[in-house]
Every structure is written in structure tokens, then in C-alpha cells.
């Protein structure tokens, strides 16, 4: 078992633990009951996770004498919308939620973002706990307190910073995750290592063939290490003013790739392509050696992740998405680029000719 404390210093200081343990799901009713302290539990989940693990959790709560209501939403990104938030508010209020109740986000990143946003807004804030069930959610979205939904203008544009009371991670649930989803999560693991920790990167290179959905022992340590690294960055910069932007490695180009391909390319795949392209740009700008860039490409490839930049048919859409990236300053895309392995350079302006080269223009 790994327990990673996250300590945040805000108006009042806040500390919570991220627990990573295989088999944790069985202990969850007990732990949740303790945190709820006799108050009601509202578990928000999606239909897939509910079918696979919901009954087990609900039965466990029954056994522990914890009053729990399960609220199910459809799986997928389309659930991150304002109508659904309002419907969940209505359900919670009609079932008598109070500020002492506990909301549990039980699912992937969609559920974490959605349920977290519902928790941040209903009654001006009800405590919530993250129980992430995809690799992406376990290493990335459940850590750091960013919650929110999509807007027709763009993804993740409505939201809040709202930290959970705890994060409970059971790597065993990854056994049922589709392989493509698992690889999406691995892209974020590589991102964390490439941006922050050369030692972790070398560890991944060494164990790359052993990182499978069912190797729970290895997954436990990979997840705990990634969480520890992300948590340390969040502690330094909760509201993403500077250091936390290093976690956007691969994402400036990745988001534009997703948008310009109408989201046919999944997030982790787009991040992998984005990271690879940003590494090539970093080589051109003298921030990274060819050899380091080659190591990054090799690791991504060996994990089954794509590195070739996709064909972008609609260049205008791509460029618009690039300048829409909300982390940009007044429309000018600013890149996070790798600076060797394990470090990154923030806010780099990339010459337009290098972007043209990616898009196959003028080469
Ligand atoms: N808040 C943040 O900091 C942050 C960071 C990164 C990504 N995100 C958000 O996360 C979302 C993507 O998260 P995701 O990739 O986890 O997507 P997701 O929540 O849609 O999950 C992917 C699919 O896997 C299914 N699933 C979940 N757990 C499963 C399991 N154990 N076994 C079988 N199937 C399972 C889900 O039902 C879903 O169909 C995006 O909306 C993105 O914006 C947020
Ligand atoms: Zn991401």
C-alpha cells in the first residue's frame, strides 16, 4: 500500500491522502463510511463502471450500514454537460443532500470532473472523494482538484479548483479497462516522467514490457510514483500559475490534434503525438538532444502509442484550436517543451515555420 499526502496551503491549509492499493475496492465501504461519519453517501458513476463494480460497492455499503445512493450517468465525454449537472443537482437535492453528506466520484476522468463539479457547486460545496477507475484518472485527473464540464465553445471551459477529501486508487480495476483506454493512461504516465523525473523515465524504459493491465504489483508502484510527482507539482502551484503548467507537456499540440480531427483521435493518443512533435521542436530549438528525443519516441512506441504527426486536413481549424488553448496568453500559443528528459521549459514561443513543418507545409 502507498499513501501519498497532498498538502495545500490556501486561505486555510488542506491536506488529503491518495491511497494506492490493489484490492482497495473491498475496503472502500468501510473507508467511505468513516469519512461520511454517519451521513449519507451519494455515489456518482457511469453505466459501465456501475455494471462492473457498482453492485459490489453498494452491497458493501449495505453490509457496513452506510446509507448510499448510486446515481448513474451515461458513459463518455458527452456526459460532461451543464444539463446533466443540473439533473444531478436536482436528484441530490430531492434526496436530501446536506453539506455533511459525501459525494463519491466513482469512474474515469469524465466522472471525476463531472461529479467533482457537482460537488463543488451543490449547496456551495459538499465534500467529495475520488475513486478513479481508469489509468488516466488514477495518475492524472483525480489528482490536483481541477473539476469541470465542457461548453459548446470548447472542452473543459467551465469548472473550478476543488480538492477532494481523499483519493482511493485500486489498480485491480484496470483489468477490465479496454486496451486502448489503458494506453491512453500510459501516455499521461510518460508525460509525467518526461516532464519531471529522469529516474522514473528510465524505470519505465526498463519495465516497459511488464506494464500490463493485470500486473497489479508493478501498476501499484507506477501509479504511486506518478501520483507523487503530480502531487508535488500541485502542492507548489495549486492554481496553475507556473510550475503546474509543466504537466501540459504534449497537450498544446495534443488538444489541437484532437479538435482538428473531430476527436477521432483519443486524448492519450493525441498527447503522445503532441509530445513526440514537441520533442522534435525542442531538438530544433536546442532544448533537447537527438538521442533524448529518440529515447522518448522509443518508449512511446514500445507502449503501443502513436508518435507520427497525423495528417491535418483543416489547417485553419488546427490553428484556431491551437490559439484557443486556454493556457495561451492572449491567443498566442505558448508551448511547454521538453528540456532534455525529466525537465521542461515553460511558455516557449515556437516559430511559425516549425509549426508549418509539422503540418507538412513548406518542407
Ligand atoms: N481534471 C483534470 O485534471 C483532468 C486531467 C486529464 C483529463 N481530464 C478529463 O478526463 C476525461 C477522460 O478521462 P478517461 O479517459 O478516464 O475517460 P472516461 O471517464 O470516459 O473513461 C473511459 C471509458 O472507460 C470506461 N471505464 C472506466 N473505468 C473502467 C474500468 N475499470 N473497466 C472498464 N471500463 C471502464 C468508462 O465507462 C468509459 O467508457 C476527459 O473528460 C478529460 O477532460 C481531466
Ligand atoms: Zn491529458
| Residue 326 alpha carbon to ligand 1 centre in Å | 21
Residues facing 5 on adjacent strands: 17
User: Is the distance from CB of 67 to CB of 41 less than 8 angstroms?
Assistant: yes
Is any atom of ligand 1 closer than 6 Å to the C-beta of 133?
A: yes
CA nearest ligand 1 atom 30, residue: 177
* Residue 332 or residue 32, greater confidence: 32
Q: What pLDDT, in 10s, does the model give residues 69-93?
A: 999 999 999 999 999 999 999 999 9
Topology, domain 179-212+249-358: Dehydroquinate synthase-like, alpha domain (1.20.1090)
CA nearest ligand 1 atom 22, residue: 108
- Confidence at 14, pLDDT banded by 50, 70, 90: confident
Closest alpha carbon to 272 in 170, 162, 187? 187
Q: Is the pTM for the entire model greater than 0.85? A: yes
Residue 68: φ, ψ to 5°: -135, 135
Residue 289 is given by DSSP the state -
Which ligand 1 atom sits closest to the C-alpha of 174?
A: 31
| Residue 125 alpha carbon to ligand 1 centre in Å | 23
Q: What is the pLDDT of residue 101?
A: 97
Using only C-alpha atoms, the chain has a radius of gyration, in whole angstroms, of 20
Residues forming the active site = 124, 146, 188, 230, 240, 244, 248, 251, 255, 267
Q: What is the pLDDT of residue 330?
A: 56
Window from 163-167, 225-229, 273-277, 348-352 with minimum mean pLDDT: 348-352
Is any atom of ligand 1 closer than 6 Å to the C-beta of 108?
A: yes
Q: How far, in Å, CA of 61 to CA of 179, rounded?
A: 30
Q: What is the pLDDT of residue 363?
A: 45
Q: How far, in Å, CA of 259 to CA of 263, rounded?
A: 6
Closest alpha carbon to 105 in 33, 155, 41, 161? 41
Q: What pLDDT, in 10s, does the model give residues 149-173?
A: 999 988 899 999 999 999 999 999 9
Mutate to test the pocket of ligand 1, among 52, 53, 107 (most ligand atoms within 8 A of CB): 107
Q: What pLDDT, in 10s, does the model give residues 202-257?
A: 999 999 999 999 999 999 999 999 999 999 999 888 888 877 888 999 999 999 99
The overall average pLDDT reported for the chain is: 93
Ligand closest to 188 (CA) is: 2
Q: Is the pLDDT of residue 10 over 80?
A: no
Closest alpha carbon to 42 in 108, 113, 110, 122? 122
* Residue 143 or residue 10, greater confidence: 143
Mutate to test the pocket of ligand 1, among 109, 178, 272 (most ligand atoms within 8 A of CB): 109
Q: What is the pLDDT of residue 359?
A: 85
Q: How far, in Å, CA of 56 to CA of 80, rounded?
A: 25
Q: Is the pLDDT of residue 275 over 90?
A: yes
Q: What is the pLDDT of residue 244?
A: 82
Tell me the CATH number for domain 2-175: 3.40.50.1970
Cell (9 digits) for 204: 519505465
Which ligand 1 atom sits closest to the C-alpha of 147?
A: 1
Enumerate the CATH 3.40.50.1970 domain ranges in the chain, comma separated. 2-175
Is any atom of ligand 1 closer than 6 Å to the C-beta of 134?
A: yes
Enumerate the CATH 1.20.1090.10 domain ranges in the chain, comma separated. 179-212+249-358
Is any atom of ligand 1 closer than 6 Å to the C-beta of 248?
A: no
Amino acid at each position: 500500500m502507498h499513501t501519498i499526502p497532498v498538502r495545500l496551503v490556501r486561505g486555510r491549509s488542506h491536506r488529503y491522502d491518495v491511497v494506492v492499493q490493489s484490492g482497495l475496492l473491498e475496503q472502500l465501504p468501510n473507508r467511505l463510511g468513516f469519512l461520511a461519519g454517519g451521513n449519507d453517501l451519494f455515489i456518482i458513476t457511469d453505466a459501465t463502471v456501475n455494471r462492473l463494480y457498482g453492485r459490489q460497492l453498494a452491497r458493501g455499503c449495505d453490509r457496513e450500514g452506510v446509507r448510499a445512493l448510486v446515481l448513474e450517468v451515461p458513459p463518455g465525454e458527452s456526459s460532461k454537460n451543464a444539463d446533466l449537472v443540473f439533473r444531478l443537482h436536482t436528484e441530490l437535492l430531492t434526496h436530501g443532500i446536506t453539506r455533511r453528506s459525501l459525494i463519491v466520484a466513482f469512474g474515469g476522468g469524465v466522472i471525476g470532473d463531472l461529479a467533482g463539479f457537482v460537488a463543488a457547486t451543490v449547496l456551495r460545496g459538499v465534500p467529495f472523494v475520488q475513486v478513479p477507475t481508469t489509468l488516466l484518472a488514477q495518475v492524472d485527473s483525480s489528482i490536483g482538484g481541477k473539476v469541470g464540464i465542457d461548453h459548446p465553445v470548447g472542452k473543459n471551459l467551465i469548472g473550478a479548483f476543488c480538492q477532494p477529501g481523499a483519493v482511493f486508487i485500486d489498480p485491480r480495476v484496470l483489468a477490465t479497462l479496454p486496451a486502448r483506454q489503458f494506453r491512453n493512461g500510459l501516455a499521461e504516465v510518460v508525460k509525467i516522467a518526461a516532464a519531471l523525473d529522469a529516474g522514473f523515465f528510465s524505470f519505465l524504459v526498463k519495465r516497459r514490457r511488464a506494464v500490463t493491465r493485470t500486473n497489479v504489483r508493478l501498476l501499484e508502484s507506477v501509479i504511486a510514483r506518478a501520483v507523487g510527482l503530480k502531487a508535488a507539482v500541485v502542492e507548489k502551484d495549486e492554481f496553475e500559475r507556473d510550475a503546474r503548467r509543466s504537466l501540459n507537456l504534449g497537450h498544446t499540440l495534443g488538444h489541437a490534434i484532437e479538435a482538428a480531427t473531430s476527436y477521432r483521435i483519443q486524448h492519450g493518443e493525441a498527447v503522445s503525438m503532441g509530445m513526440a512533435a514537441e520533442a522534435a521542436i525542442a531538438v530544433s530549438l536546442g532544448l533537447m538532444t537527438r538521442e533524448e528525443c529518440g529515447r522518448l519516441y522509443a518508449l512511446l512506441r514500445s507502449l503501443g502509442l502513436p508518435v507520427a504527426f497525423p495528417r491535418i486536413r483543416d489547417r485553419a481549424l488546427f490553428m484556431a484550436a491551437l490559439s484557443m488553448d486556454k493556457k495561451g496568453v492572449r491567443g498566442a500559443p505558448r508551448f511547454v517543451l521538453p528540456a532534455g528528459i525529466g525537465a521542461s521549459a515553460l511558455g516557449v514561443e515556437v516559430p511559425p515555420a516549425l509549426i508549418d513543418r509539422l503540418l507538412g507545409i513548406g518542407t
